[in-house]
Homo-oligomer: A and B are copies of this chain.
Amino acid sequence: MNVMPPSGPTAQVRDRLLDLIKSGDLGSDGKLPTERALSERFGVGRRFVRQALDALEAEGLVWRKQGKGTFAGQPLDPMGDLAAKITGETNALEVMEARLCIEPELAALCAQRMQPDEVARLRMLAQRQWEAEDAQAIELWDGSLHRLIAQCARNRPLLTAFSLLDKIRSNPDWVAIRAKGRDMASLQVTHNEHLALIDAIAAGHAHAARTAMRDHLETRFNALRGELETAAAEQGETFFAATSKT
């Protein structure tokens, strides 16, 4: 999908859409107003809205599906019923452990297989996350960044394994726990770690990318552990600590 950079009214619509995306007024699923609503709101034809959305979709900032709508970020991979089945049989620590196994390798492969425009897309997603104004937007852009890295690794089974974890983690109660573990200081750390990761990927250094992702996940793991211990102290063990049975 090679889309010309927008000019004229389309460029203005694109910028206003970007403002809307940044504004934090979207729902937790990042759903944007419909094309028809946006065309009324901006006082332009629907075709201009579509062209602006074409551009944003090419930049990886929105995704669209006929009959469903237009959403900020990157979509979760369809998992069928599998993730729902597993969610009740695992816990946050196991998922984190699995992430530490899989995502550094995805980052390394991404560094090896990255295509030229994809680095810019990663940087833009990291910037969206840094500029995010509420917990929902942080979650949406952080998730989108990790998803794009996984896609750019170009290994379908590993992408699927990642997506399984992604889906499990999308459970609202799990999302809430993560949100509690974030403050300005941790967001700064995350942003720095994201940038270091993207720099390693951009330079094509697989080993550095692997290490950067591992460091980043370990930081998040420690924050999660802190939250889980706080939650456990407050109310005894909850579903986060479901025993894994094999």
Contacts and interface: CB of A to CB of B under 8 A. Distances in A.
11 contacts: A78-B82, A82-B82, A82-B160, A86-B156, A90-B155, A90-B156, A94-B158, A95-B157, A97-B158, A98-B157, A98-B161
Contact of A246 (B94, B101, B105, B159): B159
Interface centre among A81, A101, A168, A244 (most CB of B within 10 A): A101
**7 A-B pairs with least C-beta separation:** A161-B161, A90-B156, A78-B81, A98-B157, A78-B82, A101-B105, A151-B246
Interface in A135-185: 151-161, 164-165, 168
Contact-residue size bin, chain A (C-beta under 8 Å from the other chain): 20 to 34
Interface in A73-96: 78-82, 85-86, 89-90, 94-95
- Main SS at interface, chain A: helix
A223 interface: no
Contacts of A168: 157
A26 interface: no
Contacts of A246: 151-154, 156, 159
Contact of A101 (B85, B102, B156): B102
Contacts of A109: 97
A164 B160 contact: yes
Contact of A157 (B80, B90, B154, B155): B90
A86 B152 contact: no
Interface string A3-23: 000000000000000000000
A242 B131 CA distance: 40
A246 to B, nearest CB: 4
A98 B155 contact: yes
Contacts of A160: 82, 86, 161, 164
A24 to B, nearest CB: 27
A156 B86 CA distance: 7
A224 B196 CA distance: 36
Nearest to A148: B246
A230 B155 CA distance: 23
Contacts of A82: 78-80, 82, 160
Given A101-B101, A158-B101, A168-B157, A85 B78 contact: yes
